[in-house]
Amino acid sequence: MHKYADMLSLGQLTSADFAALLFSAAAQRKRRFGEALAGKHIALIFEKPSLRTRVTFEVAIRQLGGWPILLGETESRLGERESIPDLARNLSLWVDGIVARVFRHSDLEELAAFATIPVINALSDWEHPCQALADILTLSDAWEEFSGRTVAYVGDWNNVSRSLWKACELSGLDFRAVGPKGFGPKPGERVAWFTETDALEGADAVYTDVWASMGQEHELEQRIEVFRPYQVNERLLAKTGKRALFMHCLPAHRGLEVTDSVMDSEYSLVFRQAANRLPAEKALLISLLENQDEATSEEGSPRLFRRFGHVDHHPVAQGKLWM
């Protein structure tokens, strides 16, 4: 079980934890409004631009009876106006949770270390757990069972692919990644990684992302030449040898990492993935923040991560940092 009441990485979860979140997310699609977060205030910190993540978290919080508070551009720059520990301590006095989309995962970890309220990773340079939960929920709609199924990621190894890999492991899905030399997993990440696109043979779903993530836009021209052979088009999908599904976290650069014909095809799941961001995030919010009297209600599954209200933040923060 997850040691602390934060959701920073899928590596914190067991397979049972992840399955419970999927069950809860599926249940949220049948119930639009609820009271799981009634009386709760959630601070939203967005260092990076966002469409899907910001809108779905705001909607999710409101549909669950809570109030989202979006920090302004100046306040969202972690460590600039005031230190991250001081920001965390202050927010812990007033609100019940923090959703943060940040440039550096280390900043997110520091925020969680000094906050005494739940912190949710809405994207960092290391992981994007909310996206991966929505991705697996989408595949559970497409496939009756995961046994024998393979998901192949094509392109730059990044935060999205890392979370997808972890989510596949938690779900019992086979996973492999394909990309150019020098753009693969970090040392120590035991991923089935290949440089030849022939490795896509047998894949049931092909997933890609942009070739230059936020903060790497200045490298785009150089990356286009390196990644061009890995564009997901009809010819590349044919290498699977079957009618493979296509996935993308969005936003997509049409004509670069994927063609229009693939994005708009009947086997493309991209907008189903986007739709599932809302119930996936509702499931995470419930697991971390559900009111105690709602814990056994029909809102969702029992809470996975428990935190019993506001306490003296300094000892707790230090305990989290050094345990």
Query: Which positions are catalytic?
Result: 101, 128, 131, 209, 249, 277
- The contacts of residue 300 (CB under 8 Å, 6+ apart) are 23, 24, 27, 28, 36, 282, 283, 286, 287, 290
Q: How far is Cα 6 from Cα 4, in angstroms, rounded to an integer?
A: 6
Q: How far is Cα 244 from Cα 260, in angstroms, rounded to an integer?
A: 16
Q: CA 7, 10, 11: angle at the middle one, nearest 5?
A: 110
Confirm if 256 and 215 have CB atoms less than 8 A apart.
no
Confirm if 57 and 90 have CB atoms less than 8 A apart.
no
CA dihedral 149, 170, 23, 58 (to 10 degrees): -110
Confirm if 7 and 105 have CB atoms less than 8 A apart.
no
Please report the sign of the dihedral spanned by the C-alpha atoms of residue 143, residue 168, residue 97, residue 76: negative
Q: How far is Cα 163 from Cα 224, in angstroms, rounded to an integer?
A: 24
Q: What is the DSSP letter of 268?
A: B
Residue 83 is inside which H or E element, if any?
A: none
